Amino acid sequence: MVRIAGWVAQHPILWFFAFFIVFPFLVPYYALATQVLIYGLYALGFNLLYGYTGLLSFGHAAYFGLGAYGTGLALARLKVTSLWGGLAIGLLTAGVGAAIIGFLCLRRRGIYFALLTLAFAQLLYFIGFQLAHVTGGDDGLRGIPTLPVALPGLTIPLDSPLALYYFILALVGLAVLGLNRILESPFGAVLQAIRENSDRTSACGYDVNRIKHLSFVFSGLFAGLAGSLSAIYLRIVPIENLYWTTSGQVVMMTLLGGAGTFFGPFVGAAAFLVLEDILSVFTESWQLIIGLIFMGFVLFLPKGIWGTLVERLLVRQTTVEPDAGSDRKGRSSPEASARP
């Protein structure tokens, strides 16, 4: 077990691909596998901000939704004929949205940040709701075509569920590579320094607010890509993509899997979706059970499934997840640490 965990830690991206290439055949149906990829990517983006930078956003539905609507509107209403064009517009929408909202939210630190992100996401939800003639409002945005993937000298149709899955896997894999690159870079180290002690990072000469803002935008871009892929996959953008429940979901997924660990978000997204899938067969009140499980994790297993596993199985020599085992006490407020 320990050796396997060690290999995974040394070649995380390789194992990521190996696992997800066979993944659709391990779950009951392809749809679930695709959902895990999309929501895993969404949680990955959220985790960059919460797990690595220490900023709890309760409004990530905004960027997921902006990505989804950006791509959806481009393909369904603006009649963009290239899938890449649709994706690019989705990413741009999410990125610009994250840049503006991030700027406003970062004017307040600490607990205000969570409340502000939530409020701005709700603002976007109500705007989406009111602009029904553009967004489809309550009915969702319909009529998104499934365009083929155009590569130089090659056009791949995405008609079959499996082709769509592997296309999404390719893009999610690229995003995972990108995130790995970000976290391994000096910039990634500064992010974690901010999480551990923002004042000290500032004293070291880093422009903490600008770096937080950058992390916010990156995080929004990952969430936006997840939203874009969701629009392409579902061929509809439901208004719930912007609703606060979508923000809550990613918080729960990330914490279940393990915030601040590289693969935790994917583990959490998979656990959440499989649990939802199983529970909703038996009871309409599956959210009650997931809510209780989530509370149990906050109270007793704050490192989540993957975080706890990594901590138990890995000896300290690993270089890939040096932060997975470290505790996060450095982030607690002076008020809180004065407590028993």
Residue 208 binds other proteins, judged by CB under 8 A: no
Q: Which is nearer to other proteins, 77 or 331 (CB)?
A: 331
Contacts of 290 (CB under 8 A, 6+ apart): 252, 272, 275, 276, 279
Q: Using the rule CB under 8 A, is 122 a contact of other proteins?
A: yes
Stretch of residues binding other proteins (CB under 8 A), selected from 7-15, 78-86, 229-237, 245-253: 245-253
Binding mask of the shown chain, residues 123 to 152, with x at each position contacting other proteins by CB under 8 A: x--xx-xx----------------------
**Residue 288 binds other proteins, judged by CB under 8 A:** yes
Cα separation, 336 vs 252, in Å, equals 23
Say whether residue 16 binds other proteins (CB under 8 A): no
In a 3-state reduction of DSSP, which class is residue 157? coil
One residue of 287, 311, 318, 325 binding other proteins per CB under 8 A: 287
111 binds other proteins (CB under 8 A): yes
Q: Look at residues 276, 294, 293 and name the one whose alpha carbon lies nearest to residue 285.
A: 276
Q: Could you identify the residue written with the tokens 């082709």?
A: 163
The answer to whether the CB of 217 falls within 8 A of the CB of 98 is yes
Rounded distance, CA 282 to CA 290, Å?
13
Check if the beta carbon of residue 53 is closer than 8 Å to that of residue 181. no
Nearer to other proteins, 56 or 147 (CB): 56
Of 11, 108, 181, 210, the one binding other proteins (CB under 8 A) is 108
Q: Which residue type is seen at 251?
A: V
Interacting positions 30-59 with other proteins (CB under 8 A) = 56, 58
Determine which residue in the list 250, 252, 273, 314 makes contact with other proteins, applying CB under 8 A. 252
> Which CB sits closer to other proteins, 185 or 332?
332
Contact between residue 89 and residue 81 where contact means Cβ atoms under 8 Å apart:
no
Q: Which of 46, 244, 262, 263 binds other proteins (CB under 8 A)?
A: 244
3-state helix, strand, coil in the chain (%, to 5): 75, 0, 25
Quickly list DSSP for 292-329.
HHHHHHHHH-TTHHHHHHHHHH--TT-SS-TTSSS--G
Number of neighbouring beta carbons within 10 Å of residue 26:
10
CB of 281 to other proteins, least distance (A): 17
Candidates 28-36, 118-126, 183-191, 230-238: pick the segment binding other proteins (CB under 8 A): 118-126
Residues lying near other proteins in the complex (CB under 8 A) are found at 56, 58, 104, 107-112, 114-116, 118-120, 122-123, 126-127, 129-130, 244, 248, 251-252, 255, 285, 287-288, 290-292, 294-295, 298-299, 302, 328-329, 331-333, 335-340
